[in-house]
Amino acid sequence: MRFSYFLAEAFGSMRRNWVMAMAAVITVFISTAILGAVLVTRDNLNQGATNLKNRVMIEVFIRDNSSPAQVSALQHKIDVLKSQGQVKGYTYISKEQALAIFRKRFGERIVANLPINPLPASYQIQVQNTDNVDKVAAQFFNDPTVDNDPGTHNGVKYAKETVRKMLGTISLIEKGMWVVTIIFAAAAVLLISTTVRLSIFARRREVEIMRLVGATNWFIRWPFVFEGFITGLFGAILAGVFVWVGNWGIANWIKSTQIDFLSLRVYRLWWQGGTWPLGLLPTLALLGALLGAVGSLVALRRHLKT
């Protein structure tokens, strides 16, 4: 019986102060939509970071004058590293294969003007752990079979610095989005608390009468807490649907274009494997309702003694 009373009072207050209630819903919508975008972006950035790490390859170029025994010895060294768990796999690229790859990438016209095949044979090595790529690459720096210029290690190529910079950029974007989310969440709490304060002020005589007849502070609080809860829940549900539709639309658009290598993932709407965060809608609904309830409690703390 009390629950229905509290709920009716909450909806009645929202109806009377509908302008502020709508403003609070919009603020919650914006803040939780940003949070939803953070979850979707973070999920895809983590996937992209994993793909980047898996693509870190070490190219070891072989001298043209190397004997078959030297090439076999180099391959044996790679096999040993693989047996030790430092190398995931490797591929041998002959001079002819290297030229075919070059032809496919740059066209027949450039290849036709080459008097000889200048490209060396190589091994493309995929490391097991990208954090150990320097250690694995160092195994080939001083190998006589590797095509290093005197005093250099330019016969061993890998893009660790590029990947490291990209991973750093991904981390920076993620942190920036969390900061923006926190700012808008704080704005939502403040606006909801302002809405509830206006409701309390409009009903101040009623609240005073309730206190005079012996109503407890929590009996007075509950309608306002429900008001904030409903406001936050409604705004968050709208945000969850909006973000999911946007995620789905962008992912499908990418699949139909030439940039489908990005392989954007659609974040699940309802369920996310039973772990936190849950699907987009329940996660945002819970957080939005929490924001609304907290906003109400912040406002009530100033008007009612605990």
Query: What are the structure tokens assigned to 91, written together?
Result: 């591929």
**Angle 181-186-190 from CA coordinates, rounded to 5°:** 150
CATH number of the domain located at residue range(s) 57-158 in this protein: 3.30.70.3040
In sequence order, the 6+-apart residues with CB closer than 8 A to the CB of 286 are 236, 278
List per-residue pLDDT tens for the chain, 306 residues long: 466 766 676 677 677 777 777 877 887 888 788 888 888 887 777 776 666 666 678 899 999 888 989 999 999 999 999 999 888 899 999 988 988 888 888 777 777 777 788 889 999 998 887 778 888 888 998 888 998 888 788 889 887 666 677 767 777 877 887 787 788 777 777 777 776 677 667 666 766 777 777 767 667 777 878 878 888 888 889 988 999 998 888 888 877 775 555 567 778 877 766 565 677 888 888 888 888 888 777 776 666 654
Q: For residue 82, count CB atoms less than 10 angstroms from its CB and return exposed for 0-12, middle for 13-18, buried for 19 or more.
A: middle
CA distances in angstroms from 283 to 146, 174, 240, 272, listed in the order given:
54, 18, 8, 10
Q: For residue 99, count CB atoms less than 10 angstroms from its CB and return exposed for 0-12, middle for 13-18, buried for 19 or more.
A: middle
CA 197 to chain centre: 37
What pTM does this model have?
Answer: 0.59
Question: Could you tell me the residue ranges of all domains in the chain?
Answer: 2-52+164-303, 57-158
pLDDT of residue 80: 92
What pLDDT, in 10s, does the model give residues 262-275? 567 778 877 766 56
C-beta of residue 143 within 8 angstroms of C-beta of residue 77: yes
Host H or E run for residue 93 = strand 87-93
Within 10 A of 198 (CB to CB), how many other CB atoms are there?
17
Which residues sit opposite 123 in a β-bridge? 60, 92
CA 183 to chain centre: 18
CA distances in angstroms from 128 to 46, 57, 92, 132, listed in the order given:
18, 10, 18, 8
Q: Order the strands of the 156-158 sheet from edge to edge.
A: 87-93, 122-127, 57-61, 156-158
User: Measuring CA to CA, which residue among 237, 234, 268, 238 is closest to residue 251?
Assistant: 268
